[in-house]
Amino acid sequence: MTLNARLDHRNPLVFDTHELGRRPGALQRLPRTVDAPKDFGVKGVIGVPEGAPVELELRLESVMEGVLVTGTARAKAEGECVRCLEPLEQQLEADFQELFSYPDADDRGRVTAEPGDDAEDDEDRLFLEDGLFDLEPVLRDAVVLALPMQPVCQEDCPGLCSQCGARLADDPDHHHDAVDIRWAALQGLADTMKDGEKDEMSGDGPGPANAAEKQEK
Ligand SMILES: [Zn+2]
Ligand SMILES: [Zn+2]
C-alpha cells in the first residue's frame, strides 16, 4: 500500500467520511457541484472543459472494511464529430461505485476476497486517509467510460466529401460526376499554372532588378 501526498480536504473532490462514522449500515447522501478538473474526458476527442460544472450525487455507505461510495456525475461534454469535425456538445451522465477501505481493515478485507485475486486487488484498492477519500481517479475513469470514443454530431452523419471536404449533412445533394473530377483536376492544374505565372510575374519585378543592381556594383 503506497499512499500519495496527503489528501487536502480543501480539494473539492476530496470527501470527508467523519460525519458518516464507522458504524456499518450508516448512510449519507452528498450532493455537490464541482469544477471539472483538467483533462477530464477522452483526450483530444471529447471531454468536460476544465472548470465547467460537474454535478455529483454521492451516496456514502459505511461497510465493515470501509466506505462504499456510489454516485452519478452529470456534466456537459464538448468535442468534435469524428466524421465531419463540427463541434458538438453532449450531456454526460456517468455512474460509479467504489469501495474505499480503512487502512487498518486490510486483514478483514482479505478474508472475504478470493485468495487468487489478492495481488490484483491490492493494487487496485483505494484507501481512506484520515477518513478522507479522493474521488478524482474514480470519477475520471467513470467519465472516460461514459463518453463515446468516436463521437458523432448525429448518428447518420455522412461526414465530409472526400473530394472537396464539404460537409455533406449541410448539402445532401452534393456529388461530383466522374467528368467533374477530371475537370476539377484540370481546373486545379490550370489554377496552379495561373498562380505560378502570377508568382513569376510578381517575382520578376524585384528579382532581376536586384540582380542587375548587384551586377552594377
Ligand atoms: Zn458530423
Ligand atoms: Zn465535394
Ligand 2 center to residue 23 CA distance, Å? 67
Q: Tell me if 207 is assigned to some domain.
A: yes
What are the grid coordinates assigned to 137, written together?
481517479
- Locate cell 460537474: which residue? 54
Residue-number span of the structural domain to which 206 is assigned: 181-216
Ligand 1 center to residue 176 CA distance, Å? 20
Q: Tell me if 134 is assigned to some domain.
A: yes
In a shared domain, residues 127 and 197: no
Domain count, the chain: 2
In a shared domain, residues 142 and 189: no
Ligand 2 center to residue 89 CA distance, Å? 26
**Cα–Cα distance, 105 to 8 (Å, whole number):** 22
| Predicted local distance difference test score (pLDDT) of residue 169 | 92
In a shared domain, residues 188 and 100: no
In a shared domain, residues 162 and 116: yes
In a shared domain, residues 94 and 187: no
Ligand 1 center to residue 87 CA distance, Å? 8
Ligand 1 center to residue 167 CA distance, Å? 8
Q: Tell me if 81 is assigned to some domain.
A: yes
Residues with CB under 5 A from ligand 1 (ion): 81, 83-84, 153, 157
| Predicted local distance difference test score (pLDDT) of residue 191 | 72
Q: Tell me if 84 is assigned to some domain.
A: yes
| Predicted local distance difference test score (pLDDT) of residue 183 | 64
| Predicted local distance difference test score (pLDDT) of residue 209 | 45
Q: Tell me if 32 is assigned to some domain.
A: yes
Q: Tell me if 2 is assigned to some domain.
A: no
10 Å Cβ neighbour count for 130?
A: 12
With contact defined as beta carbons under 8 Å apart, do 128 and 103 qualify? yes
Ligand 2 center to residue 81 CA distance, Å? 18
Nearest bound ligand to the CA of residue 169: 1
Ligand 1 center to residue 151 CA distance, Å? 8
Q: What is the pLDDT along the chain (217 residues), one digit of tens a residue?
A: 445 568 898 899 999 999 999 999 999 999 999 999 999 999 889 999 999 999 999 999 999 999 999 999 999 999 999 999 999 999 999 999 999 999 876 554 454 444 444 555 566 789 999 999 999 999 999 999 999 999 999 999 999 999 899 999 999 889 887 655 566 666 677 677 766 555 554 444 444 444 444 444 4
CA angle in degrees (0–180, nearest 5) for 111-117-121: 85
Ligand 1 center to residue 158 CA distance, Å? 7
Nearest bound ligand to the CA of residue 180: 2
With contact defined as beta carbons under 8 Å apart, do 26 and 20 qualify? yes
pTM over the 0.85 mark: no
| Predicted local distance difference test score (pLDDT) of residue 202 | 47
In a shared domain, residues 72 and 132: yes
Q: Tell me if 56 is assigned to some domain.
A: yes
In a shared domain, residues 196 and 142: no
In a shared domain, residues 109 and 29: yes
In a shared domain, residues 151 and 111: yes
In a shared domain, residues 122 and 211: no
**Cα–Cα distance, 158 to 83 (Å, whole number):** 7
In a shared domain, residues 80 and 43: yes
Nearest bound ligand to the CA of residue 163: 2
In a shared domain, residues 154 and 187: no
